[in-house]
Amino acid sequence: MIKIQAASGQGTKLNDELTTVVQTMQRHSDCQGLTKIGFCQHGTVPECFALHLWWETASPENQGSKIAHSLIQSLQNFGLLSYSVWIEQEEKQV
């Protein structure tokens, strides 16, 4: 997950960039193990976004994927970034 807090006035531009990133990756996904990509906008902070990459691999890369690091490089000009690797434990229907 890559969380981005956009600099003031950059929210719309960042939203557009994330939309383009997701669409491009969906069309040209040659990343073995990448199963899903999407992004969310914070419910009350309009310039805060989270980009999610879902992987199906035998074991996670400790420092994350090369694609994630490439995305971080391209998105860092928009504002503050936070990057973390999460491992899904169990999915339950409610």
d(CA 94, CA 23): 30
Q: What is the pLDDT along the chain (94 residues), one digit of tens a residue?
A: 999 999 988 889 999 999 998 888 877 766 778 888 889 999 998 899 999 999 888 887 778 888 888 899 989 999 999 999 988 888 778 7
Looking at residue 58, its pLDDT comes to 81
The candidate with the shortest Cα–Cα distance to 34, out of 5, 66, 70, 79, is 66
Tell me the whole-structure pTM to 2 decimals: 0.82
- Provide the residue type at 81 as one letter: L
pLDDT value of residue 72: 92
Q: For the chain, which residues make up each domain, given as ranges?
A: 10-31+39-52+67-87
